[in-house]
Amino acid sequence: MSSKVIKGGTVVTADLTYKADVRIEGGVIVEIGPNLVGDEVLDAAGCYVMPGGIDPHVHLEMPFMGTYSADDFESGTRAGLAGGTTMVVDFCLPDPGQSLLDALKRWDNKSTRANADYSFHMAVTWWDKQVFEEMETVVREKGINTFKHFMAYKGALMVNDDEMFASFSRCAELGALPLVHAENGDIVASMQEKLMASGNNGPEAHAYSRPPEVEGEATNRAITIADMAGCPVYIVHTSCEQAHEAIRRARQKGMRVYGEPLIQHLLLDESEYSNPDWDHAAARVMSPPFRNKLHQDSLWAGLQAGSLSCVATDHCSFTIKQKRYGVGDFRKIPNGTGGLEDRMPLLWSYGVNTGRLTMNEFVAVTSTNIAKILNMYPKKGAIVVGADADIVVWDPKRTKTISAKTQQSPVEYNVFEGKEVTGLPRYTLTRGYVAIEEATVKTREGHGQFVSREPFQAVSKALSTWKELVAPRKVERTGIPASGV
Q: In the bound complex, what is the minimum distance in angstroms from residue 311's beta carbon to ligand URP? A: 15
The secondary structure element, H or E, covering residue 379 is: none
Provide the β-strand partners of residue 420. 401
Pattern 311-330, ligand URP, x by CB under 6 A = ---x-x--------------
Pattern 421-460, ligand URP, x by CB under 6 A = ----------------------------------------
Q: In the bound complex, what is the minimum distance in angstroms from residue 152's beta carbon to ligand URP? A: 7
Q: Which of residues 314 and 388 has its CB atom nearest to Zn ion in the complex?
A: 314
Looking at beta carbons, which residue is closest to Zn ion? 181
180 binds, among ligand URP, Zn ion, none (CB under 5 to 8 A by kind): none
Terminal-residue alpha carbon distance, the chain? 87
146 binds ligand URP (CB under 6 A): no
* Separation between Cα atoms, residue 426 and residue 64, nearest integer Å: 35
286 binds, among ligand URP, Zn ion, none (CB under 5 to 8 A by kind): ligand URP
CB 3 within 8 A of CB 30: yes
Q: Which of residues 23 and 121 has its CB atom nearest to ligand URP in the complex?
A: 121
Please give the angle made by the CA atoms of 458, 378 and 180, to the nearest 5 degrees: 60
185 binds, among ligand URP, Zn ion, none (CB under 5 to 8 A by kind): none
* Separation between Cα atoms, residue 307 and residue 77, nearest integer Å: 29
Judged by CB under 6 A, the number of residues near ligand URP is: 8
Q: Binding ligand URP by CB under 6 A: which of 335, 349, 367, 414?
A: 335
Q: In the bound complex, what is the minimum distance in angstroms from residue 187's beta carbon to Zn ion? A: 16
Residues 267-286 that bind ligand URP (CB under 6 A): 286
| Number of continuous H segments (helices) and E segments (strands) in the chain | 16, 20
What are φ and ψ of residue 366, in 5° steps? -100, -10
Please give the angle made by the CA atoms of 174, 368 and 109, to the nearest 5 degrees: 60
Going by C-beta distance under 8 Å and a sequence separation of 6 or more, which residues neighbour residue 300?
A: 266, 351, 356
Pattern 112-141, ligand URP, x by CB under 6 A = ------------------------------
Q: Between the CA of residue 432 and those of 30, 113, 424, 428, what are the distances in Å?
A: 11, 18, 19, 9
Q: In the bound complex, what is the minimum distance in angstroms from residue 335's beta carbon to ligand URP? A: 3
181 binds Zn ion (CB under 5 A): yes
Q: What b-and-e string marks burial along 106-125, b requiring 16 or more CB atoms within 10 Å of the CB?
A: bbeebbebbbbbbbbbbbbb
314 binds Zn ion (CB under 5 A): yes
Q: Binding ligand URP by CB under 6 A: which of 110, 113, 121, 181?
A: 181
Whether the ω angle into residue 410 lies within 30 degrees of 0, i.e. cis, is no
Looking at beta carbons, which residue is closest to ligand URP? 335
> Applying CB under 6 A, which residues contact ligand URP?
59, 181, 286-287, 314, 316, 335-336
> Applying CB under 5 A, which residues contact Zn ion?
181, 314
